[in-house]
Amino acid sequence: MRLLLVDDNQDNLEFLTAILSEKYQVSSFTCARKALAALEAAKPDLVLLDIGMSPIDGLGCLQTIRDTPGYANIPAIALTAYAREVERKAFLATGFDAVVTKPIFDYEELFGPITALLPQETANPA
């Protein structure tokens, strides 16, 4: 499975890329513009987007991805330090399928939503 990860904090990006790369093929970017330019080449099955980026934030990036043919229903996870319930509900209402609060201390908080949102792989009969 392929993931597209966008976080403008280099340390967060490297940390998340290292963790996620143990299970998935990860294309990671420090800005939304570069991620959007590489969308077709990356062909992600799921996107993880930092909310607080500039000049294009995670909400704008998700909207552009969802407006791209073939990606209207791609699962999306918001990565954010905005952890209040009202903010979480707002991110879900704008189209994110899950919200993961940063910093991430428990890997299950990251992998749980990814596993739930990705299509289940089927085993090939031998």
pTM of the predicted model, to two decimals?
0.92
The full 3-state SS of 14-66, as one line of letters, equals: HHHHHHHCCCCEEEEECCHHHHHHCHHHHCCCEEEEECCCCCCCHHHHHHHHH
Q: Cα dist. 113→40, 54, 56, 84, 108 in Å?
A: 24, 25, 24, 18, 8
Q: Output the pLDDT for position 40.
A: 95
- Residues 8-62 pLDDT 10s: 999 999 999 999 999 999 999 999 999 999 999 999 999 999 999 999 999 999 9
| Domains along the chain with CATH numbers | 2-116 (3.40.50.2300)
